[in-house]
A and B are shown apart, each in its own frame.
Chain A
Amino acid sequence: MSGGYRLASGGRIDRSRPLHFRMDGVMHSGFAGDTLASALLANGVRVVGRSFKLHRPRGVMAAGVEETNALVDVGKGANAEANLKATEIELVDGLEARSVNAWPRADRDALGVLGLLKPFLPAGFYYKTFIRPSWDTYEGMIRRAAGLGHAPVGVDPDTYEKQFAHADVVVVGGGIAGLVAAWSASAGDAQVILIDDQPELGGTLLGQPVPINGDAPDIWLSRVEAELRARPNVRLLTRTTATGVYDHHFVLACARRLGAGPRQRLWKIRAKKVLLASGAFERPLVFPDNDRPGVMLAGAARTYVERYGVAAGRSAIVVTNNDSAYHAAFSLRAAGVKVSAIADLRASPPRHALDAARHHDIEVMPATAPAGVAGRHGVKSIKLASVDGAGRLGAASQPIDCDLVCMSGGWSPALHLYAQAGGAMHFDAERGAIVPDAAFEPVVCVGAARGTFTLAASIAEAYAAGAHAAHATGHPSNDGFITPKVDEWPQVAAAPIVELRSARSRGAHSWVDLQNDVTAADVRLAARENYRSVEHLKRYTTLGMAVDQGKTSNVNAIAIMAAATERTMDAVGTTRFRPPYTPTTLGAFAGREVGQHYRPLRRLPAHEAHAELGAVIEDYGGWLRPAFYPKADESEATAVTREVLAVRGGVGLFDGSPLGKIEVCGPDAAEFLNRIYVNNMLTLGVGKARYGLMLDENGIVKDDGVLSRISADKFLVGTTSAGANSIGYWLEEWLNCEWPHLNATIAPVTSQWAVMTVTGPRARDLLRAFDTSIDLSAGACPHMNVREGTFAGVPARIHRVSFTGELSFEVAVPARYGQALWREMLKRGQAFGVTPYGIEALMVMRVEKGYLHIGADTDGTTMPQDVGFAEIMAKKKADYAGKRSTMLPVGRDPRREFVGLEVADGEAPLPIGAHIVDPSEAADTRRTHGWVTSTCFSPTLERPVALALVENGRARMGEIVTLTSTHGRRSATVVGPCAYDPNGERLNG
């Protein structure tokens, strides 16, 4: 060990591949196989971050996902990622990391002085202090001072994939229990997926090796991995974190990828059985100043030696309440680190531990605990004290020099996925852990995740669980698995979980949740203030929140709360873990459904032809449709005016393909539709069409359109373009659920047909330029009729319906002919001056005509009687959807009715949304009497036109009303909705 903290040999790193990286701008080096954390430790970087609230210097505490301190932002600009744990980041060349919540750097933080304020910043401090004059006064300052990393700037340039998979058995965790479970589950032909978050399989054994069959565990591990890889029914997902287990064995897992291509892949796996072999997290001990950089979990310190070839210090003290930390002491000693002593909280550590310590020449101090740690930017010394079974400390010793404190407070099963799936847990004092209840089928825990802390027992348990899962999914197996011999200590009864505290101490510097700066004193404060429920404790103190979600702090907090309130651990309970298990980037959930794939837009069959004409194409309800067709340098207004006048004066061509089309067929089709529409549809003759309204069960106008009867038992329901999908589903719901005895079928056919609307006084002339089997004369096919036949040599349906108020034909042909028909109509129509027009001109023309536009002229309160259907309703005896609701008292109250508004000559159009008010009412208390729903300048009438919903509107014809809006006050006259050709003479040409 020279210069840095990298050991001369050992570890699983590849010393032939050095890597360089920057931390807070300083260049460091590491090796392939390092994590950022191990590389930082190797370079002697002790302070890696600042705490959330108090900006206390913090160092690496763990070696895995449970890390609470070493949070960094990685990358730059749009590529940046916030709040990653240095222990999870695989080192790559050129990595740029910055510590979070520190400025300018972690070891010289300008706000570090806040730490001195700890006595004044207890739990609940914000709630109690920043209330006068209001929270807003302080919020900006507090947000600058507190918080973690920075969100990336700009759109994420990376791509993400999703993949679905099915499996008989999913095993989460690639440690020894997971490997054995996967082995036995896959011995037959069950499909097995093993998920592990590390780059290599082996789990805890990689960093805390135990001899297997008398050898290093690598030999056994590689044999098992080779066998699993050879099995065609096994899929091994490494670098993949199972982030959630949801209902019915649904497992979500996020795979990280290195190199080019997608950065992450989200696996959505439906399993039949889920086995959880997620291991256990080591618990910190709670004692004064336990947050000093250099106070580390013993298993982590050992992992840095054994897996990464790094000594986290040069002179260590081990403090523990269990056997496992002894092995950390032995590893450190073997790596050349001075280990001054093992302070064991237990009064009589077991014989095997004492013997082994003596063998390694390490002093064991029973009934001894840490009483304080000195060294603001890194441990300099520790004081020890005698301790009793309740954690009460005696007089502290003189400081003992050291730069590393390895602590172990026992092990907590990683039950997050189990709990997410609904599994219940209880505290097992013998094991010193919160363990899963015995029988919970959705997730079966094995090994350390079940609180089984010896490898031999874990192996037996995992093997049985794997075999059972295979059998239960119909894949019995019986292979020649040879149980390995493991050289390990027996399990002994666990010591109680206690806070280490002297009689005088409040525990104000004994940290429970380091990431959120929650101390033992804060937990007791919460208890005193009656936040005794574990959920209240969490929210009042923020314990267990943020990036690590309390993986190392929860159990200690529950124990302190239990002691403070004289309850059992089980009575305090645990918070319900929620997914994800570790922070997961939103990009992984979004996958490829971003940008233009977020909401794919549909194109018209004749899209290309519209584009060639220079149409301005916009998104109308998910369809890309021409808004207008500007010529040369025409503005929108000029183009729309030209298009409207062309239709009114000659002939226009419009692509109406997205109009909703639903075929309803069968002997009961007429009866069914009569129960749907407000109108009487039983009387609709073959070849006839009728405009109708549909209501929801609340009596609110849901959609409108033209219903046409193609033949006796075949109808075509026309819906708005926006309603095409939802109305289809809605009709099916009525038929399927309410009237299943009606003999009818429903087929949505919207996109099967391209619809070209030919409209204007010369519309018929244009159609006569084509061969058709249909007699289009006024006598043979009058307004509101439908005919089937051929047109231009292809099958066609021709509707005489009009949304412009002019003579109109809607020519529907199979979608594949749409573009050809559009081009041909434009070509042959040249002789008649045909003009293509877009949605905007159509909307102007329908406002001129006072035609209702559902969703614009109606809202969630509009009933059919409001839009002129009162007579139709009165005549219809039969029941229909929503009928009873229109009869409720609300349907008879003064209602906002659909009318037109006229303004004086020379005035501008009324503003959309302008409210009709009573000018005699005071400005600050007046209410609305209705509002403008559609408004435009009519090129045809050369004056503004407007539609509105006005209270009692139909009784107020001729009344001059006052309107107000942000554009000021206006007046207008209430008129009928139809401003152009009110008698409809032009329709019937």
Chain B
Amino acid sequence: MLLIECPWCGPRSEIEYSYGGPAHVTRPGPAEAVSDVEWATYLHTRQNPKGLHLERWRHTHGCRQWFNIARDTVTHRITAVYRMGEAPHESVPPKGGAT
């Protein structure tokens, strides 16, 4: 069970959180300007990398806020925690996890 550092509440056990999929998935729009393929890619295509993954978590049984983490999917090492809307942490190489 992971130990995740909520940027608002501090380190808490994984049972307090909900996983929210890859971070930095850009929602295309406006709807009329988006092709079917582009929209389907946004809905369904994910990278599922072995290694560094940037992902969203919600502190469900705490402050209920969303934030991002950088996690290694092999070792589960968490190398960065950063807030929604922030760019990936500087320790995270560009072209990280998500599309």
Q: Which residues of A contact B (CB under 8 A)?
A: 246-250, 270, 422, 697-698, 729, 732-733, 736-738, 740-741, 879, 883-885, 887-889
Contacts of B85 in A (CB 8 A): 740-741
CB proximity of B5 to chain A, nearest CB, Å: 11
CB < 8 Å neighbour of A884 from B13, B34, B64: B34
When chains A and B are docked, how far (Å) is the Cα of A884 from the Cα of B2? 36
Give, as a whole number of angstroms, the nearest-CB distance from A373 to chain B.
47
B93: CB under 8 A from chain A? no
Pair A887/B31 contact, Cβ less than 8 Å: yes
Chain A residues with CB below 8 A from B18, complex form? 729
Find out whether the CB atom of B58 lies under 8 angstroms from the CB atom of A698.
no
Q: Is the CB of A879 within 8 A of B31?
A: yes
Tell me if B2 and A698 are in contact (CB < 8 A).
Answer: no
Within 8 A of A (CB), among B55-89: 56, 58, 60, 64-66, 75-76, 84-85
Q: Smallest distance from the beta carbon of B89 to chain A beta carbons, Å?
A: 17
B residues near A741, Cβ cutoff 8 Å: 85
Please, which residue of chain A has its CB at the minimum distance from the CB of B30?
A: A879
Q: Which residues of B contact A250 (CB under 8 A)?
A: 1, 3, 13
Check if B1 sits within 8 Å of A246, measured CB to CB.
yes
Return the chain A residue nearest B44 by Cβ: A698
Using CB atoms and an 8 Å cutoff, list the residues of chain B in contact with chain A: 1-3, 13, 18, 20, 27-31, 34, 36, 39, 43, 56, 58, 60, 64-66, 75-76, 84-85
Give the residues in chain A near B36, CB-CB below 8 Å: 888-889
Contacts of A248 in B (CB 8 A): 1-3, 76
Interface SS of A by simple majority: mixed
Q: Which residues of A contact B58 (CB under 8 A)?
A: 729, 732-733, 736
What residue of chain A has the Cβ atom nearest to residue B75's Cβ? A422
Q: Among the interface residues B13, B18, B31, B43, which one has the most CB atoms of the partner chain A within 10 A?
A: B31
Q: Would A737 and B76 count as touching, CB distance under 8 A? A: no
**Residue on B nearest A889 in the bound complex, by CB:** B36
Complex alpha-carbon distance, A889 and B39, angstroms = 12
- Decide: B1 and A884 in contact? CB cutoff 8 A: no
Q: B30: which A residues are within 8 A, CB to CB?
A: 879
Q: Tell me the complex Cα distance, A879–B30, Å.
A: 6
Q: Closest approach, in angstroms, between the C-beta of B73 and any C-beta of chain A?
A: 12
Chain A residues whose C-beta falls within 8 Å of the C-beta of B60 in the assembled complex: 729
Q: Which one, B20, B43, B84, contacts A740 given CB within 8 A?
A: B84
Q: Considering the complex, give the chain A residue whose CB is closest to the CB of B78.
A: A248
Cβ-defined contact, B39 with A733, below 8 A = no
B91 to chain A, nearest CB (A): 18
User: A248-B1, A740-B84 given as contacts; is B43 within 8 A of A885 (CB)?
Assistant: yes
Cβ–Cβ < 8 Å partners of A884 in chain B: 28-29, 31, 34, 39
Cβ–Cβ < 8 Å partners of A732 in chain B: 58, 64, 66
Q: Are B13 and A697 in contact (CB under 8 A)?
A: no
Task: Assess A270 versus B13: contact at CB under 8 Å? Given A737-B20, A888-B39.
Answer: yes
Interface centre among A422, A698, A736 (most CB of B within 10 A): A736
> In the assembled complex, which residues on chain A have CB atoms less than 8 Å from the CB atom of B75?
422
Tell me the minimal C-beta distance from A237 to chain B in angstroms: 19
Interface contact A738-B27, CB-CB below 8 Å = yes
In the complex, what's the smallest C-beta–C-beta distance from A702 to chain B, in angstroms?
15
Residue pair A247, B39 in contact (C-beta under 8 Å): no
How far, in angstroms, from A227 to B43 measured CA to CA in the complex? Answer: 61
Q: Name the B residues within 8 Å of A879 (CB-CB).
A: 29-31
In the bound complex, do residue B2 and residue A737 qualify as a contact, i.e. CB atoms below 8 Å apart?
no
Q: Is the beta-carbon distance between B84 and A249 smaller than 8 angstroms?
A: no
A sample of 5 inter-chain contacts (CB < 8 A) reads A729-B64, A733-B58, A884-B29, A884-B34, A888-B39
CB distance from A748 to the nearest CB of B (A): 9
Q: Which residue of B is nearest A746, CB measured?
A: B64
Contact A737 B56 (CB under 8 A): yes
Please state if B3 and A737 are interface contacts (CB–CB under 8 Å). no
Minimum Cβ distance to chain B for residue A90 (Å): 30
Out of A247, A422, A698, which one reaches B1, CB within 8 Å? Answer: A247
Given A247-B1, A250-B3; A885-B39 close (CB under 8 Å): yes
Q: Please tell me which one of the listed residues A249, A736, A889 contacts residue B65 in the complex, with CB atoms under 8 A apart.
A: A736
Return chain A residues, CB-CB under 8 Å to B27. 738
Question: Contacts A422-B75, A736-B84, A883-B31; is A698 near B43 (CB within 8 Å)?
Answer: yes
Across the interface, do B76 and A247 meet the contact criterion of CB distance under 8 Å?
A: yes
Given the known inter-chain contacts A879-B31, A885-B43, please indicate yes or no for A737 contacting B1, CB distance below 8 A. no
Minimal beta-carbon separation of B81 from chain A (angstroms): 13
- Give 12 new A-B contacts, CB below 8 A, not counting A879-B30, A885-B39: A248-B2, A250-B1, A270-B13, A422-B75, A698-B43, A729-B18, A729-B64, A732-B66, A738-B27, A741-B85, A884-B39, A885-B43
Q: In the complex, which residues of chain B have a beta carbon less than 8 angstroms from the beta carbon of A698? A: 43
Give complex CA distance A248, B27 in Å: 33
Complex-state Cα separation, A239 to B97, whole angstroms:
45
The smallest beta-carbon distance between A695 and chain B, in angstroms, is 12
Report Cα–Cα, A422/B1, bound state, in Å: 13
Say how far A164's CB is from chain B's closest CB, in angstroms.
Answer: 8
